[in-house]
Every structure is written in C-alpha cells, then in structure tokens.
Structure 1
Amino acid sequence: MSKDVMRPWEDRTKQPRERAEALVAAMTLEQKINQLHGAMDTIDIYAMTAQAREAGTDMDALATQIRVERHVEGIDELGIPRFRITNGPVGVGMGDGTPSPPATSLPMTIGLAAGFDPALAREYGSIIGSETATLGQHVLEGPGVCLHRIATAGRNFEYFSEDPYLSGVMGVEVTKAIQEHGIIAMGKHYVVNDQEYERFRTSVEVDEQVLRELYLLPFEMLVKDAGIAAIMSAYNRVRGVYATEYRYTLTEVLRHEWGFEGYVQSDFWSCRSAAPSLNAGMDHEMPDAKWLNEDNVTAALRDTSLEIKTVDRALVRRFTQMFRFDQFDRPYDPGDIDAAGHGARARRIGTEIAVLLKNEGGVLPLDPNAGAIVIVGQSTYVDDACLGGGGSSKVLPLYTVPPLEGMRDVLSGLSGSASVTKITVADDLTNLDEAKRAAAAADVVVIMAGLVATEGEDQLGMSMLNDQNRLIAEVGPVNPTTVVVLKDSNPVLMPWIDAIPAVLETWNQGQEDGHAVADLLFGVVNPSGKLPTTYPKTQEDTLAARRPERYPGTDEGDGYPVIRYSEGLQMGYRWFQSQGIAPLFPFGHGLSYTTFGLSDISVDTGSHPGRSPITVRATVTNTGDAAGAEVAQVYLGLPNAAHQPPKRLVGFRKVTVAPGDSRPIEIVVDPAATNHPLSVWSRGDHAFVTIPGEYAIYVGTSSDDTPTQHRFTVAA
C-alpha cells in the first residue's frame, strides 16, 4: 500500500479503540505474537537470583547485571513504533537505552506520602512524566500502591503508606500528572505484593473484605479517579493462583466491576503460562517471550485452550492506550532534561516531606552562626547523597549533592559563620572513639544514619544495619546539642530516642539530599511532613511478631510459603489502636518549628447522614513565631456492628500559615467517593454498603491526636 494512502488505523478522526481494532485486524498471526511480549533474549532470572545470593551479591548489584532494554519491537510496515518502557516509580529508572539514561533522582515514594499534599504528588508526577517524555519513552512503570503491611518489606520505599486512602489519593495525582505528558502510567504491583520474601513462590491468603477495604482500594482509586492506562500484575500467588493467572482480580474485579479499559502487563518474569495468563486477563509479557512466544501461542490456538479473539483482545487493549496518548504519531526524538530546573524542584519536594519526630528544647533549627558543626555517620549517609532504594527502580542521577557540600552551600547562602566538618565512621565502628572525640569538641553534632532497602529482599529486622544504633547511643550523649537525621526507606527502631533531643526523618532524599537536609536543619524550610506509616517501639509490637503464618509464611503442604493476612483489617495504625499498643510515633505524626491550634471545628453531615457529603470545617492558627504548614486530619469511626478497627483516615488538608495568622479549612468526605469512606464490604451483597448506626468523626493532627469528636447516626 502506498504511504500516501491512509490506512484505517492512521485516521486520527477515529476513536483510539476503533484505530486499535483496525490495526489488529490487519495483522498476521506472526505479527500479533510479536507484539504480545518484550524483545530481549530470555534469561533465567531465578538462577541468577540464586547465584547472586550464594555469591553474596546484593539485589541492587544484580539489577545492574540484568539491566535490559525495556521495549517491544516495532513493525515498520504497519507503522507500529518501537514501544519503549521505563521503570519507576521514584523517577525515570531502568529505561529503554544502553545504558539507561540519567534522570532526576527524586525522594522515595514513602517520603512523598509524608507530604500529605496532593499538589506535591502532582508536581512529583509531573517531573517524572516530563522526563519520561523527554527521553522518548512511552510507559512509566508506576506508581506503586501496595501497602506497608510489613515494616521490613523491601519495596516499601516504592509504595506510599500503610493507609489505602492516603496511598490512593497520592497515587491518583502522580498518575494524572504522568499521563498529562502523553505517557502511559502503570499501577503496580497488582495485588498483595506487600512483601519481597520468596516473591516468585509465595501465596497470599486474604479475606475478601480485607482485600477490598485495604489492598485493592488504592488500585480502585487509580482506575476510577485517574483513568490509569495500565496495570502491572504481581509476582506472587493470590489464593494459590499466580497473580498473572488470577481471572478474579484481573478480569472480574478490574474490568467488570471497576470498568478498567487499559491493559495488564506482567511484572518482569512474573508470567507463568501462555493460555491461562491471556485467558485470565493479562495482556502483555515483559521483558521477553518466555511464555507468549510463537510455539506456545500457536500450540494453544491449535488445541483451543486459547482463542484468537483473546489474542486480539490483548493487543487492542494496549494499542488503544498507545493511540489514546498519540504514541503512534510521535517521532522518537529524545532530548535533554532540565537538570538544574528539575533539581530545584526535587530539592523543594525533599524539604516538604521531612518529618520532625522530636525537638526537645528547640534544638532545631540550628543557628547558622553556631560555631563548629560536625557531621557524623557511616559512608552511605554522610559521604554522598542518599539516593535510596535498590533494584530495578533505582535512578541514575543527573548529579548529586553530598551532605557536607550541601550544608556549606546553605550556610553560604545564609551568610552564616559556622564551620562544618565530617567524620565518616567505619561500618564496623572501628573509629567510633574518633567520632566521639570530634563530637565532644564540636558546638553542634549532626548524626546522619538510616536504612536503604531494596527490591528482591526484605530486611531481617527493623534495626538500622551496621550497628548504627550503637553509633548513635554512644556519640549522641557526648554533646547536648545533637541532632539525628534519619535517611530511611522504612520505619526503624530507635532504642536511643530518650538520649537524643532532636530527630528529623528525611527519608532517602535522592540527588538533592545535601541541600534539602541543610535547608531543614537551618530553618530555611520548616518541616511539615507527617508519618505515612507507624513507627513502633519494638518489633514485638508489630502484627507479625511470633506469627510466622502472617510473615514470612509457612509451607502448608503445597511446597511454597503461604502468608495469611489473618490480622484482617487490623493493619498499620488500625493494628496498634485495635490492640491498644502505643507506638513510638503514630501514623500522621509530625512536629514543626512553630506551633498550631485547631479551633472552630464543625461537622455538617448534610440532610441525609450517610448519603450526603460530610463537610468538616476548622480554623488553623499558627501560635508560634515561624511560618509553617499543618495537616488537619479527619478519621471516621464506624458502628460497633461493622466490626471495624477504631479509626480510618477519610480526609486531610495541608495549609501554610504565617505566624500569628489563621486560615479556615474545609474537608469534604463524600460517601459516594471511590474510597468508600463510610462503607464496608459485604460478602452477601458483593458490594460496599453503609451500615446503620452511630458513626464518629475525629479531627486532629495525627491518628492518635484527635481531640475533637462529632457523632451522627445513619438511619436504617
């Protein structure tokens, strides 16, 4: 056919699905199979993982070894472009290129959630979407909206929080922003991939109500509120069936109930079959053709375990999204990222997500003229920017700002006279005495410590590695003006907390670590983050303590570990409140360099309580002497008949207030919203229902600090 003659799928006046159907109708079987999978030589990821662990290779190093070009081959004669895929969700990670191109290394997603700010999530997603487009990619594998069920889970840094509503709100905004740049966003990992232990083998057993109200909920929000274009299926089994073959979640829930119109891609090497996966609703295998290859697909078509219409359906779903985002007509023309501009934005985001956990005696912010300041810590946290989580999502940074350089830059900008030096403590603490002497001689000590988690393996415990707790416990008390700066992928234990006056959680900050942390320490920016996950006093207080069936699972006779979510809805702060266990720092906790008051709180439940939107109004007053931001949080308590934990988060609002000023806020809780704020899952009705009875609205500034209560009744 002459190139001058428009083919049906090239007609831009047609709807994306019409164009996709026309294209698939014109394809040969060989071409169709070619488009069902990625295009790299098959490698044995299982063998490589086992060999790496035997050799003592960490998973981050393994990810570098298996760095691949993430793409699907194009078909020039049909005008199908090479389909370029890049990993997320903490920036543009492993993409289609050799090597993967550098990009802005952003703070980890767990930190973004600590911002409790949808607008901040929108900016975060905009940076990612913009850079993905600039680098000529078509898909960004993110956001990740699994939950922090286990505090030691290796990919918590990629996920937002322990709360499904907070995770959903932030994930929706990230998704919208990514897709505004003509990029397909891909929600992951669907579903209950909440731990990395034996992720290729483990089966998760979870009650339907728990699955609906917690673990499926943020995915439902991505589909209904963000119009997400793609979903990535998980590695693990769900109720004994691999997630890539589980028709109930992939088709019945995702498509028939939620109306999802995008496509489902396998996580890399998570596909385990040809016909069963396609029949269940998985549409695309990555990164190779281990299963959806010509031999397997043609054999399945021949024996009728697979229908050609099912193959067509899978392709139409993906091509529809490519047409939706104009990816067929976009030339491959990668450009240069605005490194300075995006770096400045990353720095600002980094300052708005830090959580001030403790600040006795007003140690923070530091005086720029404080005299001699010494930074103490192990190399990962003091010698260079803490880029964060390991594995396939790790971003190759455009540049980095180490702590010492960043602190000196900020001091220079403030015309401060303080001097800053650094002591790098060996991982085996052999020079700990040197650090103690330096701390005793300094005017201010800043201990930097933390935890960098990685894909592919969970931590053995909640303590920071390399005996950092001992480092803090011995160095901290030497000087009364000591600040601990935590740089974490996960919540950590703090057995030294009573001996340290000030603790600032900054998370794994990414490339602008040095500047962002210094901005916070010297009060250029006032911390305003809130914990998106609970920090327990001890690991024994967590839901899986002494309960191996909850984690890491037990072999129940099938030969693989089975993890039972037998805690039900009691996960995260719901667990601590249901069990009456006081955490070290609760979900939603975060201090400021100023103080705030919540007043004039009113709750309007509307003309039909339970069906009408609930409007919570309050006044936030800055009662201190520094500008800052506070997050008002609204929780809901359900009737006793619902058999629910005491509270669930249903609304929040972050507001910046000048010292001495007041700002009115309004938070609307809509019973019809996709997070089903007033409802519980009914197995009998196979739907979310609102139970008659007495409800309680709690308003405050953390899950454990909700002094204002308002009760209302939903009639039968």
Structure 2
Amino acid sequence: MAVDIDFLISQLTLEEKISFLAGESTWRTAGVERLGIPNIKLSDGPSGARGEIFGEGVPAAFFPSGVSLGATWDVALLQELGELLAEETKSKSASVILSPTMCLARNVLGGRNFETYGEDPYHVGKLATALVKGVQSQGIGATPKHFVANDSEIDRFHGNRVIPTRALRECYLKPFQMVVRDADPWCMMSAYNKVNGEHCDASRKLLTDVARKEWGWEGLIMSDWGGTTAAGPSINAGLDLEMPGPPTRRTQSTVSALIEGGEVDAKQIDESVRRILHLLVRSGRFDDSSDNGEVCLNTPEQAAKLRRAACAGIVLLKNENKALPIHPSKALKKLAVVGPNAQRVVAGGGGSSYIKAPYWTSVLSSLEDRFAEHDTEVVHHRGANVSRYVPTAPSEQCRDPYTNYGGGAVDWWHGHEKIGKPVATTHVDDLYFISFGDRPAIIPNDFDFNFSLSTVLKPRTTGLHKLSLSSIGPAQMFVDDQLLISETGELREDATLFFTYGSEESITQVHLTAGREYRIRIEGHSHDRQLDRSLDTRIRPMENKFFGVRFGYEEADYSDLPAEAAQLCRESDAAIVVVGRDKEWETEGQDIPQFALPGDQVRLIEEVAAVCPRTIVVVQAGTPIKLEPWIHKVQALVYTWYQGQELGNAAADVLCGSYNPSGRLPVVFPREVEHSPGTMMPLEPGVDTSSVYAEGIHVGHRYLDFLGISPIFPLGFGLSYSSFELSNVRMVEHALTQSQSVIIHADVRNVGGSDVPARQTILAFIAPVGKSYLTMPVKTLCSFAKTPELKTGEGCTVELDIDAYDLGVYDALSERWIIPSGAKFDILIGTDSSNASRVGQLDVEIEISWVHCTST
C-alpha cells in the first residue's frame, strides 16, 4: 500500500514521536494504533535468526560462524546464505536481522573474532555486501554491525579506540562504506565503544557527517542493546533508535525536557521518525502487520545448504604423506577419535549469536556413521579436560522433576518471596540459563520476581565432586534441601560470565554416590539495584534487564586423560585428535585469555603423535591459535572453525574425502601472539581504557609484512586434495580511471590428486613502486576470485577487477580519497599473501580523487 510518510509525521503528537525513538520491548519497536502504524520485530544474528528467546526458544538454523564463511572466499555462497537467513528471519515473524558482524579481526585474542569474516577490509566488505544483498532481496532488512571498531571485548562498553584518521578510513570504516555503496543496508547498529574520545552512538561525525552526508546513506541507525549512552547527544548525533525497550535513556520525560530546554531540535526527532517509518514501508509492515509467532523450519534443503557452506569454510593446513583423506580400507582396522571436542557439540562461540539448533552433529558421531557399514572400528577417548569453568551440568545426567526430560524446571513467583503456588513453570534444557525479556507472560516486566530452578542429578561415579553456582542477582544452591552455596550476585569489574553481567562462579565440593539421585534446587530473585544512569556512565548497560543462573557440575576424575588417549591411539591405525576452544573460551563479553590451546590439549597432541604416526589434528576455534612446536609432530592439520549444526557432518565430509577442501584462511596465522597488532592494548579493564591503534593502516597480514616477519600461515593459505596450475595471467584492461577498472584474467587448471572436484581461490594485491604520496602497506588485497568446481584436467579463466576505489588512500588534510598522478603499482597475483607474483605494473597518469564513490 502507498504510505504518505510526511502526512503520518504531521499527524503524530510529540509524545508519539518520542515513543518511536526507543524500542517498545526487547525485540520490538513502538507503533501507533490510532494511525495504523505497526511495530517491527528484530531478531539477533549473525549465526542465524534466533528469535526473541535466549537459549530455550524455538529452534533455529545454526549457520557456520562468520570466520568460517570468510574462509570460503565465496561471494555467491554468501548471497545464497543471505537469502536463507532471510527465510529463517521470516520464520521468527521478524522483519530485520541483526547481521552481519563486520568489525575486523584486529587481534588474535578478540573474543568475538569468530563472528566476523576476517582481518582484511576489502575481503570483509565484499562478503558482507553479498550477504546483505541476499537478505534484502527477500524483503528482510539487514543490519551491519558494530559501527565502528568494536573489535575487542575488553571494557567494551566504555573503552576508547584511538585510531589515526587514515586507519579509521582505510581499514575500519571501509567495509561499512563498501556495503553502503553496493548493497544499501536498511539499518546499521552503532558500537558500544568510543572512537577517538566519542561514544559511537553519540558521534555526529560518524553517524551523520560520514554515514549520511558523505556516503549519502538514508537507512536507520539503532544502538547496540543497551548501547545508548545519553539521550540528547545520541539524538543530535543521528542515532534513530534506542534498543532494547522500554527506554532507559530516551524516556518521555527526558526527551521532552531536552526539547523544551533547546538541547534537542524537534526537527532532528522528525528525521529519526521518518527513517523508522521508511523502514516499516521497506519491510512491508503497513501491508502485513501480523505476528504469527515463531516456528522452526528445519527442512532437508536447509540442512543441505548449511552442510555445503560448512564444508566450504574448512581449511586444510597440512597434509604430509597423504594422511588425508581417511578411507575405509583393510589397512584401516581401527580409527581412534580422541580429544575434548570430538564427542561434544562445539557449534559456535558464546554470546548473543549462539542459537538453539533443531539438531546437532559432532565429529565423533558423524565419523561413526561414516564407518558404520565398514570393518573399521571407531574408538573414542576424551583425552583432556579444557573447561574454563566447572562444566555446565550435563542434561543427560539431570532431569526435570516434573517431566523427567533432561534439564530442569523453573518455578516462578511474583515478588521477592515465595508466597503460595508458583504462577508459572517452565522447562529448560540447558542448566546455564539466561533470561532477557523473555520470562513467562504472567511475570510483569518490572524485575520484581523470584524463582526456583530444580533438577534431579544422578552421578555416574562415587567421589568428591565439584558443584558451582554463578548468577545474575542473588541466588542460593541447595542439595537435598541443604544449603551449599550462597551467591550474592555482586558484580565485579572483571566479571566474565553472562556477558559480564553475572558473578564469578562459587565452587564447593561434596561427596556424592554413583547411581543415587540428588535433588538440586537453586533459588533466587531479581536484583533490584536502582541505577541512576544519568550520574554513573560506568554501569553496564541493561544491568537490570538480565537474569540467569549457571549450575556447574564435575565428577572427580583422577585419571591421566592424555596418557589414556595416547594408549588407545597406539593400538590404532590412525588417530584424529579433535581439539580447540568453545563458547566459554571465545565469547562476547571477554577476550581470549591465552594464545595456546587451553588445558592439556598440547600434551594430548604430542603424546598421541609420539605413538601413532598417522596423527591428524582437527581444530575447532574462531581465531588462530599457537601451533608451534606441535604442528611439526603431526601429519595433518584441519581447521574447521565453528560450523553450527552441521559441524560433525562437514568435518567428516572433508576428513573422509567426499568433499575436497576449498577453504582458505581469512586471517593470517602468526607464530607468536606478539606478532598480532592489538597486543599493545591494555590487558586489564579500567576506567576509560584507551587502545592506541599504533599499527595504523598495517592491520592483519600487512602488520607482519611491515615488520618483515613470516607468519606460520599467510592470509589466503589452504590446501586441497587436488593440485592446481595457475598460468597465462594477463591484463585485459590497462587503463585506470574513476569509472574504469583494471581487468586481469588468469587460467586455473586442476592437475589432479583426487577424483572429487575441487575449487581454487586466486588473490590480487597491489604494491607501491618507489616513493608514494602517502605511506602504503607493502601489499594490499584489492581483488579475489573463486573458481567453480573443477574435475581433474578441467580448467577455467577467472577475472579479477581492480578499481580506483580499491587503490585510493585517504588524505586527512584534504579530507578526500586520492590516487596521485605519477603513482605506480605492481600487480601481484597468487594463492595467498606470501605466494603472489608480479604480473604487471599499473601507472596512474592523471590524478584520481573523490569524497565518496558511487555504486560499482
């Protein structure tokens, strides 16, 4: 239907206009019924459309992590997955998905690196653009985030990123500029952090001067959840929407007073209302304002797409003596699959992106299925304990006392005392339970409630076992009605659990008997600290909107796990060691505490490799880890990242050779953590922590190039079971103007090695020749292309386009992009950043300059 936005704005009262400036609830905007203006529902991404309930909601398709999608280097695949993500968003009755995450993986210890596509601005911008195009082609709004430089979780709500102008423009803003230019996203999300002294949500320079005026973008900008730091400054900066609702900053009284006092112009409010109404028009909400609830699609077609996408991101880093692929054969009588991540599901990193999938696969279960009809025996051992905390109590050892299903039950009461019967009872599968605006409808949204989480625990062994409790707000743990732990719920500056909103875990030990059932009860109530946010900006956003408890349980185990696993491998013909991190080591709210594999995993690898020559290591992680010295002791190394619900099937497809690995590294793998630029950042949080981006434009592989340090694996590296030949590289179009690209063709041929078709990725870099007008990186990625699947003997021609916008540098003095006359560049073509050869030179005869580029 045709909607006259100007007319609607003229009919709105000031109170109604103010209501549009903040969410009505956690996942919905406000509407005005008298004028027929509907609300709009948003859903978390980027790993899938979770819907409005954390943890225990309707299952949703769990996509491969962003870094795995980055490893595909496949623009067409990202657009296809964007279409699938839109389909999932519709299944949750939402119209906007909070995806993609576009911040650069600046430092190897970044807690949310797994969410983004990689380290390189051009690469991230290209893939994000493709995903946004796919999402919005289906009538769903995408939300690139977090604008800008939200690349560390240390003091993430208040930390200040001190970024030189060129680095800000050429590295951190560039991916957003690319996606605005080429995909016109309907929304963007501002970051929590400060950039050069200004909170992003209150930076008029970023939100209005750059994104709107300079880039000409007309979409809506919302805050991250709880990321509106002040009402007046954020409105004046151009932040349209405070989320979540009800508002904390932009209350009716606060905004009205700001207008009356002349601190906020009513015209600015009209502009934000206009953008919100425009989003409603784009999403079709005026045509269909229904809310049909949330459903789980879980179709075979979806599963096949996710499996293919997961396979495409897996990177083969080492394969000596053709250790891979593993095929059933007479010589392979026993296959050992060991390691802490072999049997358990490690689908993604932690935080708001984590999803309850309709099903899970593990590496062990998928390999067992693969060898079930053959004579090969598959044996397993955990091999190491890598839990960062006391592990969450397993649902297979805990049952709901009401239903006997795995997990537990939550009884709810009004008020802070348990009076009468519960007003509601809900079931939880996971005993790490988080509630965020999704309590039972009968519980009012004023945080005045109490609860009792009950489960029946059945130990498998007798001994002195660990029990732990962490909570948001005060809680107590009882075992058979005996109080064991009393948790105040007091927040600490260095808190890590519950997105940093919870207490650290309290641990006790108690003697339990195998086979006996113990009644576990955790009681608590909402925390009701009254927070004056106008006075205390150091308070964590949304502190009073979260609630949760975590029940940890670990049975006494005095065995030597690595030695036992090694003995099993000694008796096997091959060993697959599945190691890595998980959602408690890599998570929103904290950076990773160490570069090396946690726990005894390095010892496990080395002891297995010492007794089993055919040792294959599979790493599940969202960022590089320290590989030396153990990588030199194993025959094969496969990096699977985090693959969502299809993690096991995808790993088995690659390990067993039914999929020829085509993933290529989206980040450089340094030998030491000190070789990653962000390590000059403070390691402890504090008031107004500042991170100085002293490396400037030398981010990712450029940093190692600048220092002259060789990585253990370069950007773009990856092996296949096939070999490729690159030949006949030629420049088809030599002239470079603001409207004319340089075009390069290269022939790629699969010369054999596997009966399974294979794909190759070709990268193009430019390197300055002689002294340049402004300092440039040693080489800069400026184009890439991926071949189709090629059978042995087949070849194809790939095309690489290099346009002026990929070569320009930002001149802070003139505030424009420029390629000066007389500039000369070598063009390098190859398969990774350390294996690229000069194929020609590009000479710029006439200066090219611009402020903002038009769509390519």
Query: Please, what TM-score do these two structures have when normalized by structure 1?
Result: 0.89
Confirm whether residue 694 of structure 1 aligns to residue 824 of structure 2: yes
Matched residues in 2 for 1:94 and 1:239: separation?
A: 35
Matched to 2:626, the amino acid is: L
| Residue 522 (structure 1) aligned to one of 636, 640, 656 | 656
Matched residues in 2 for 1:242 and 1:607: separation?
A: 42
Q: CA deviation at 1:709?
A: 3.0
Report if the CA contact (8 A) 2:343-2:365 is conserved: no
Matched to 2:809, the amino acid is: V
Partner of 1:440: 570
Partner of 2:467: none
Question: Per-residue displacement from partner, 1:514-554 (whole Å, max 9, x unpaired)?
Answer: 11110000100000011000111111222244x3xx44489
Partner of 1:668: 801
Superposition pairs of residues 377-526 of structure 1, within 5 angstroms? 377-378=339-340, 381-411=341-371, 416-427=374-385, 430-452=560-582, 453-495=586-628, 496-526=630-660
Question: Per-residue displacement from partner, 1:176-209 (whole Å, max 9, x unpaired)?
Answer: 1111222111110001111110011111111111
Partner of 1:20: 5
Cα 1:553–1:614, aligned 2, differ >3 Å: closer, same or farther? farther
Matched residues in 2 for 1:99 and 1:36: separation?
A: 30
Confirm whether residue 232 of structure 1 aligns to residue 189 of structure 2: yes
| Residue 99 (structure 2) aligned to one of 142, 150, 167 | 142
Partner of 1:532: 666
SS in 2 for 1:291: coil
Partner of 2:427: none
Partner of 2:836: 706
Q: CA deviation at 1:250?
A: 0.4
Q: CA deviation at 1:80?
A: 2.6
Partner of 1:365: 325
Superposition pairs of residues 58-137 of structure 1, within 5 angstroms? 69-95=26-52, 99-137=56-94
Matched to 1:332, the amino acid is: D
Higher-Rg member (1/2): 2
Question: Per-residue displacement from partner, 1:588-641 (whole Å, max 9, x unpaired)?
Answer: 100100111100111234345786311111110111232211001111112431
SS in 2 for 1:346: helix
Partner of 2:781: 649
Partner of 1:317: 275
Confirm whether residue 342 of structure 1 aligns to residue 285 of structure 2: no
Q: CA deviation at 1:664?
A: 1.5
Report if the CA contact (8 A) 2:187-2:221 is conserved: yes
Matched to 1:78, the amino acid is: L
Higher alpha-carbon deviation: 247-256 or 652-661:
652-661
Question: Per-residue displacement from partner, 1:641-678 (whole Å, max 9, x unpaired)?
Answer: 1311111111111112211222112212122xxxx211
Matched residues in 1 for 2:601 and 2:90: separation?
A: 41
| Residue 767 (structure 2) aligned to one of 621, 630, 637 | 637
Report if the CA contact (8 A) 1:70-1:287 is conserved: yes
Report if the CA contact (8 A) 1:552-1:563 is conserved: no
Partner of 1:600: 728
Q: CA deviation at 1:407?
A: 1.4
Higher alpha-carbon deviation: 137-146 or 660-669:
660-669
Matched to 1:181, the amino acid is: Q
Matched residues in 2 for 1:39 and 1:478: separation?
A: 61
Report if the CA contact (8 A) 1:279-1:310 is conserved: yes
Matched residues in 1 for 2:685 and 2:229: separation?
A: 22
Structure 1 residue runs without a partner (length 5+): 1-11, 41-68
Matched residues in 2 for 1:488 and 1:522: separation?
A: 21
Q: CA deviation at 1:471?
A: 1.8
Partner of 1:66: none
Higher alpha-carbon deviation: 464-473 or 69-78:
69-78
Give the paired residue count. Answer: 659
SS in 1 for 2:145: strand
Matched residues in 1 for 2:384 and 2:725: separation?
A: 44
Matched residues in 2 for 1:402 and 1:455: separation?
A: 23
Report if the CA contact (8 A) 2:565-2:604 is conserved: no
Matched residues in 1 for 2:644 and 2:259: separation?
A: 48
Q: CA deviation at 1:698?
A: 0.2
Report if the CA contact (8 A) 2:578-2:618 is conserved: yes
Matched to 1:352, the amino acid is: A
Matched residues in 2 for 1:649 and 1:97: separation?
A: 38
Q: CA deviation at 1:318?
A: 1.6
Partner of 2:704: 576
Matched residues in 2 for 1:345 and 1:252: separation?
A: 40
Partner of 1:161: 118
Structure 2 residue runs without a partner (length 5+): 387-558, 847-856
SS in 2 for 1:473: helix
Report if the CA contact (8 A) 2:60-2:358 is conserved: yes
Matched to 1:313, the amino acid is: E
Q: CA deviation at 1:296?
A: 0.6
Superposition pairs of residues 548-563 of structure 1, within 5 angstroms? 550-552=681-683, 559-563=687-691
Query: Please, what TM-score do these two structures have when normalized by structure 2?
Result: 0.75
SS in 2 for 1:629: coil
Partner of 1:209: 166
Q: CA deviation at 1:706?
A: 0.7
Q: CA deviation at 1:98?
A: 9.4
Report if the CA contact (8 A) 1:484-1:504 is conserved: yes
Matched to 1:529, the amino acid is: G
Matched residues in 2 for 1:137 and 1:417: separation?
A: 49
| Residue 173 (structure 1) aligned to one of 107, 110, 130 | 130
Q: CA deviation at 1:337?
A: 1.0
Question: Per-residue displacement from partner, 1:660-700 (whole Å, max 9, x unpaired)?
Answer: 222112212122xxxx2111101222111112322110000
Identity, in percent, stands at 32
Matched residues in 1 for 2:8 and 2:684: separation?
A: 46
Matched to 1:137, the amino acid is: A
Question: Per-residue displacement from partner, 1:105-133 (whole Å, max 9, x unpaired)?
Answer: 11100000000000111122122111001
Matched residues in 2 for 1:140 and 1:646: separation?
A: 38
Matched to 1:328, the amino acid is: F
Matched to 1:34, the amino acid is: S
Cα 1:203–1:611, aligned 2, differ >3 Å: closer, same or farther? same
Matched residues in 2 for 1:98 and 1:601: separation?
A: 51
SS in 2 for 1:623: strand
Matched residues in 2 for 1:249 and 1:419: separation?
A: 59
Q: CA deviation at 1:139?
A: 1.2
Question: Per-residue displacement from partner, 1:141-182 (whole Å, max 9, x unpaired)?
Answer: 110111011111111111111001110110011111111222
Confirm whether residue 682 of structure 1 aligns to residue 805 of structure 2: no
